[in-house]
Structure 1
């Protein structure tokens, strides 16, 4: 069985690995597949509609075109695109363990989500640093609209470069009874390239930006909430302070939501890299579908958060 089995993580997700085996041992009853399908389709509908509305609101309203909101447009675009192009495909592949979509989409499927996640979290990081400069160093020059667009382009260039190995090494293969999409990592390097790559990816798209944002928001929080307002502060100053507090509070909720949604996914794949024998059990498909749903669901919460915590979006 071990030589023939193939669990759902072997060829799906952001970090597909080498494929082996010729049949799918993880066949679920129809009612279970239906429930999972409804859950994944709900992500796509809410995410795409919500994030498209966010983009429209910001670009259509002149007063909404701030530096922070330009980065939120980039964040919304990345999340809507990832939800639309990869969520359902991920689900179908995880349930069927058969690839129906050809080599071109296999490469896109392994390549684009990683780039989108990078663009998403570094858009959040850019917002955190922009807010940090506005609050901690208010007299220093802020980014202009042109400079903001340049930063967004740089974020996407770096995202595409980081994800390129997953495009380059993506492949399809026909096993007995089914086709698979996987990443055919090179095995001729002196170190385990796959493990090193994924550790670097996890650090770059999760832990490093979260550390930067954690430091920035802790500093801002101390300044905005723990600092004393001078006794002669005007009402206008107080209103500005309250507005800054609201924006920072909203972005802290956005960042914490992202961190919570993606933490189980990264833990899952780190364990998969170092303890692959744990992933041969029949229950692992349900674990994978749960972890993947939580990660993909991160794309649908931000529009709801903006609506609840930002009166301008309302």
Structure 2
């Protein structure tokens, strides 16, 4: 948020030119952050689209784990297409929010819900892997059951993400003579409710999923150390263990990347709700810190496609083919420009 105030009158008072130092500091870094956001959106959209295409095209990949991986990719793709560009534009636009009142309420809802979808999908992947390794004889969940579970994830995520959207206000300051439109959360006379919701978000979207995933993967680790296949040749056992360990390592890597990317933003948001007088984080630097933490959190959408694609050779081939096409098309365009210039 640009300013932590709760009423429209306070916004007008806070809009004095001398209090815009934090916004001016952030705008001075626009040439650095805008290319980074563009790169993030491009990589995440291409990566998640290719991952979804590979899972949908290959029937051999139609199982519970890949279904939840696809659900995770769909959530990341939606976030990068709808939320990241608008949020970045709002952060670096001197006139504030330019996308109207409806999107002002829709973007926080989508962004928070896609975060919940990501953590629920990561948790579902961990639980599914635990069942496969620890209880290999047990029947796995069907694709229809996976679909019902995915719908439940999205509905639950939308429900949990509703409070910020309901408390988001679209404030147009242009009638007061200031060229600024604000789209921020207001919790008037409910600071304790805002703090409770922040703690709830930290608990449900970060700590509890991370704890449950850690417990599941610790159980998988213990089981892998004890497992042996009766009657299997030693080389088959070695290959089986190597494949399982690779899959397990990559899944753990995806959870660690999520934890690393989202921790700074979660901590900063909690600090800002606890420290409303800006004693720990100065007003001048709060905007810059928020954008840095937001960029790092959104970058988690870039890593998952490549981590999960490395599990499947066909996905790797698709990525290489796309890279080859992009490089050749760039070279072709460069040659055309060269020939045109030489003819002048």
Quote the Cα distance in structure 2 between the aligned partners of 1:294 and 1:9.
22
- Superposition misfits of 4+ residues, deviation over 6 angstroms: 16-19
Do the aligned residues in 2 keep the contact of 1:170 with 1:183 (CA within 8 Å)?
Answer: yes
- Give distance in 1, aligned partners of 2:35 and 2:43: 12
Moved more, 274-283 or 296-305: 274-283
With normalisation by structure 2, the TM-score equals: 0.81
Distance in 2, Cα, partners of 1:123 & 1:228: 27
**281-290 or 100-109, which deviates more:** 281-290
**1:266: how far off?**
0.3
Q: Which residue in 2 is equivalent to 1:46?
A: 43
Which residue in the other structure is 1:152 paired with? 150
Measure the CA separation in 2 of the matches of 1:309 and 1:272.
40
Structure 1 range deviating more: 164-173 or 231-240: 231-240
Q: CA 1:29/1:126 → structure 2, altered by over 3 Å: closer, same or farther? A: closer
12, 17, 22: which is aligned to 2:15? 22
Q: Number of residue pairs matched?
A: 301
- 1:47-196 equivalences under 5 Å are 47-96=44-93, 98-175=96-173, 176=176, 177=178, 178-187=180-189, 192-196=192-196
Distance in 1 (alpha carbons) for counterparts of 2:129 and 2:281: 42
Q: What whole-Å deviation, never above 9, does each CA across 1:62-84 have from its counterpart, x for those lacking one? A: 11111101101110010011111
Query: Which whole-Å CA distance do the structure 1 matches of 2:120 and 2:246 have between them?
Result: 21
Q: Determine the C-alpha separation between the residues in 2 that align with 1:30 and 1:193.
A: 32
Shift of 1:114: 0.7
Cα deviation, 1:267-294, whole Å, max 9, x if unaligned, reads 0001001012134432222222211110
Greater share of helix: 2
Deviates more, 1:275-284 or 1:137-146: 275-284
Gaps of 5+ in 2: 317-344
* Alpha-carbon shift at residue 313 of structure 1 (Å): 2.6
Unaligned runs of 5+ in 1: 1-6
Residues 9, 159 of structure 1: alpha-carbon distance in 2 compared, 3 angstrom cutoff: farther
- Deviation digits for residues 166-196 of structure 1, max 9, x if unmatched? 2222211123411101122252x6x811111
Contact 1:55 1:76 in 2 (8 A): yes
Q: What does residue 4 of structure 1 align with? A: none
In 2, are the aligned partners of 1:48 and 1:80 still within 8 Å (CA)? yes
**Alpha-carbon displacement from aligned partner over 1:243-288 (angstroms, at most 9, x marks no partner):** 2222211111111000100000000001001012134432222222
Tell me which structure has the larger Cα radius of gyration.
2
Could you say if the C-alpha distance between residues 9 and 237 of structure 1 is closer, same or farther in structure 2, counting changes exceeding 3 Å?
farther
Quickly say closer, same or farther: Cα 1:30–1:267, change in 2 above 3 A: closer
CA distance 1:57–1:309, change in 2 (3 Å): closer
> 2:27, 2:247 → 1: CA distance?
45
> With structure 1 as the length reference, what TM-score do the two structures score?
0.88
Structure 1 CA distance for aligned equivalents of residues 99 and 254 of structure 2: 33
Alpha-carbon distance change, 39 to 195 in structure 1, aligned in 2, over 3 angstroms: same
Name the counterpart of 1:240: 240
